[in-house]
Structure 1
Amino acid sequence: MDTAAQNEGQEPLSGRPLAVAAAFEGDQGIGEARAVARDFLSSVQVVHGLPVSARASGMVQLVVSELVTNARKYAPGPCLLDLEVIGGAVQISVWDQSTDLPSVQAADPERVGQHGLEIVMAVCQDFCVHREPVGKRITASVVLADDPGGEAAGHQAI
């Protein structure tokens, strides 16, 4: 696991962004990925002094859990998790070896399970899927600080 620091002025210390990366394979996965996210966000707030709302912390852990679950369930081999603070949000990126792109199913209240991507897309500021030379990378971002009313900064309640 690699971490780097960034000061409040958004200038990287030692030329490196505030980020962490982890790889999971075999029986490793979801719980460990959530722990990586939780520890990273704690460091972002406590060590580096950047605001992280309770909502953001919960949403980041949820998104990490859903994306790593999908990678472990549908792709062979390892998956890679990258978390990076960029412009007041944490960018969550999960890579796996499968070239099959995920699809969001039509809303169906009768369907049991397979709602993960719907949830991720609903709680994230950005969401995208890219094929890579080997496999694919799914990237999503969650705003770290809330507006005074408790909503994600830059977003309004619907």
Structure 2
Amino acid sequence: MVCMGNICRSPMMEGWLADVIARESRLAHIQIDSAGIGAWHAGQPPDKRAIATAARHGVDISMQRARQLRPTDFDEFDLILFADAETLREGRALAHWHVDVEASRYLDWAGFDSDAVRSGDIADPYYGDMQGFEDVWRDIGEGGERILQRLLREGAA
């Protein structure tokens, strides 16, 4: 899971999916991690508002620490999901020689790419208020439900 600084969207994406996968024994082998395009927040915990939002929904992301996306991530993971088009573009530039890695926007991979109701981007809540974090959590959850079903359907289990 990748966003700009790894303190808002991608930690919430990681937390939501890790929580669901921990309860779905057929997916227990899946490793989930998150990173940011930039290293601005490396070593820091997620934004307090992201921690509070996840906690309100029963998910603890407080122990996560931000890190920058590394070229080796494209060797270690089969699928890398990005919060928005900008981070996807920057991630693909970093991974240009790693042709075996599937890279997509989170909501596109979830199947919202053809959904006229929403864009494929998860909005960055960093400069907004708590409602923005709740909106992001909702988008992550709706996308995550579809991602879970896709993983189960495509035999990742």
Do Structure 1 and Structure 2 share a fold, with TM-score over 0.5? no
Greater helix percent: which structure? 2
Relative contact order (alpha carbons < 8 A, sep ≥ 6): 1 or 2 greater? 2
Greater strand percent: which structure? 1
